[in-house]
Chain A
Amino acid sequence: MRGNRFTYYIREGINSIFTHGFMSFASVCIIVACLIIMGSFTLLALNVDNVIDTMESQNVLMAFVDDSYSQDEARGIQSSINALPNVNRSYFVTREAAWDSFVSTYRNPSLFDGLDSTTLRDRYVIYIDDISLMAQTQLDLAGVTGIASVTAQLEISSGFVRIRNVITLVSLALVAVLFVISLFIMSNTIKLTTFERRDEIAIMKMVGATSAFIRWPFVVQGLILGLIGALMSFVIEWGLYQLLTQKLIAGAGIYFLTVIPFYEVAIPLLAAFGIVGLGVGIIGSMLAIRNYLKV
């Protein structure tokens, strides 16, 4: 009997899709449109995050060692620096190495005649884990015995953090808004189906069909439409992403950007599309049918 019912739900759900072909098509199109916009913004956010991560890894703090410390003493404080929270790694740069590096950036080294490396201090180049905590790490470093001063490009780091936050917020807001829109459209499609079949539903109630029995074919309908929409969106998103990353970015000569390859995000994206598509389908159909089941 259970198998019988299952077949009935599937058959009725599929029949309903074809009986209301235009609305089904419209629902799938809306889901595809919403999922592609959601997906595109998510991919954009991921890529921005990736780029920021790369930039973060190049954004370092400089901790200058007190002049009174010998180089051996200066090397001795590296363990204290590395033990600080948020410090990923550090390396020691002698004043001589720093001087050579500085002078080499100028075409005319004679400008620095009469000066030598004692003008500079020994220093540590410090990489951190979280760029948003740069100011706190700067304070912590300043507190290490033997560190005379610490420089950090706080404006750049806060800029990165702001960009990331804005994109994450916009993406989240868009995902939420588009989810609600998809839900609304799907719910209305199924509502139209239920409206056309209201007499049938009334008869079902009258002869003693349970609410679950009445609901399931509509849920199956929503589920199939959601799934079709999700799969179509995934394929289109894939194509769009490849097109944009390979042709547009490469063609425009933006080589410094590192783009996440699609295969790295394909499975999570497919899973997310599947969950959103199915969620929209199932929740939308349940919202549409609930009024008919109250009696």
Chain B
Amino acid sequence: MAGIPLISMRNIVKRFPGVTANDQINLDLHSGQIHALLGENGSGKTTLMSILTGLYRPTEGFISVCGEEKKFASPRDAIDSGIGMVHQHFKLIESFTVAENIALSQSSNSFLLSQEEVVEDIEKLGEKYGMSVNPRSYVWQLSVGEKQRVEILRMLYRNSKVLILDEPTAVLTPQETKELFLNLRKMANDGCAVVFISHKLNEVLELADKITVLRAGKVAGCFDRNDTNRYGLIEMMIGRKISVAQSGTKGEALGETVLEIDDISALNDVGTLGLNGLSLKVRAGEIYGIAGVSGNGQRELAEVLAGLRPVKSGNIKFYGEEITGMSPKNMIERGISYVPEDRLGMGLVPSLNSCENVILKEYDKPKYSQGWWIKEQAAVAATKAIVEKFDVRMGSIFQPVKMMSGGNLQKLLLGREIASKPKLMIVLYPVRGLDIGAIESVHKLLLQLKEANTAIILVSEELEEIAELSDRVGVIFSGKILGEFLIKDLDMERVGSLMAGVVEDKGESV
């Protein structure tokens, strides 16, 4: 596609005190093209897009729109130049209707807006791109996928020509993702330039026309879709080759049954059934992967096992012992370890230092305490050991952990849990928000734990991750395991439809 690019970013440099977030970046966006921006966390994707949307001013370099140099003094200028962005965290007002939210962003000069006109326009736009949302619904009534549609409609309503989407598929089911991709293609065909930020390689390869890879604030490479492949991209992202983790005894777990969950139900935070007749069994030395769209009972299951959530009915056996409804302390004492998704919200105490966090779950065991007192030296020694063994990087073990990066927090958290020699570990979304290097080491840790004969329940949204690590896979939907597969029988298409709640007629493994 030749001609003048719609957007041209030239030699963009952005320095923050102590960091150069963008270093001499060039990026051209053409109308009709879907351009993927790929890179690890911290590689500069978000900064670059913040410059394009007028949130930051570049330290050096310039942006031209249709060949004309522009200076964006505020996000408003960028919007007026036809640039729109859907952020990972939606910026919608929950108590307003869809139409009100969209009208709110209107940059027209008229003070009063005809509500009916807006509603009509939205309906027309929705029809055109196959994104139906009732403009009169309140935002809080919408599902996540619908909210995303509202965000996209808002950009289209403003006549944005450049559509930027930051990790749009993170919150969607496979079906929804497919729909989104179709719609984005339609928009490109109508002359828009679409920027798609992601770290999911297969999505990028499926959707994009052009791919720019960022690494450490610089452009590592820019390709046409057809000139590259999966492995090339990964190596470019992390700057080296990766070893694919392989479990030696995959699918042959022979250990005794550690956990037996029989038909349990539990309420979620909203007071409806978060778990609804869920059953599963896990054996020692086995990784049981739970696939599913988040919000289908994963957290509730983990919290029931950690003793944090009361069980309504059904029972849980741990090495044959009935443990239903026991306290968190009892669960910890039995060797059940829960690695929550929310590291700083639950797993660690942000304002305390590493030592204080390392003893969190075992502070009253003889290991770390004697009588009324904490054994400070034991805590420091244990922390040093974890830091060394799991390669946790930080300024000092006496600094509050909130200063650590996400990957190091996860390593510290996992390190603590592994050091407690658990018999069962349930781990939620362990690589969420981590870069590829950190993901790799987290996966290695899990596999080592499995070697040590621990039973592991791995909850993830990433099918690749589950397929790579698990011995068996269960698909969770609406608080229930809808289907189970041995890893060798794993059928990705079936998993996908089970995740969306579609049970096929074959009657097997449901």
Same complex origin of A and B: no
